[in-house]
Amino acid sequence: MSDWVSVYSFGKQHEAEMAVECLIDNGIEAVIMNKKDSAYLFGDIEVYAKQENVILAKHLINKLLGFE
């Protein structure tokens, strides 16, 4: 998984799932890695994309979140 890069971190599972769906709809492979501790609920849920798609993936997620 060395060619996969974290492109965004979320606090809630559904936000990460929406981001991944957006990326997949735009032809970008994406996966979720849940690093949130289940007992104490701290940590992040990260969205990963392949290295060659990082810039576009970040742009699309920022657009989805209303930052652009």
- pLDDT at res. 68: 67
- Position with higher pLDDT, 54 vs 36: 54
Does position 60 have pLDDT exceeding 80, yes or no?
Answer: yes
Contact residues for 56 (Cβ-Cβ < 8 A; gap 6+): 26, 28
Domains and CATH numbers, the chain: 4-64 (3.30.70.1530)
Mean pLDDT of 29-47: 85
- pLDDT at res. 2: 80
Is residue 36 classed as helix, strand or coil in its secondary structure? coil
Does position 64 have pLDDT exceeding 80, yes or no?
Answer: yes
| Percent of all residues in the chain with a pLDDT value above 70, rounded to a whole number | 91
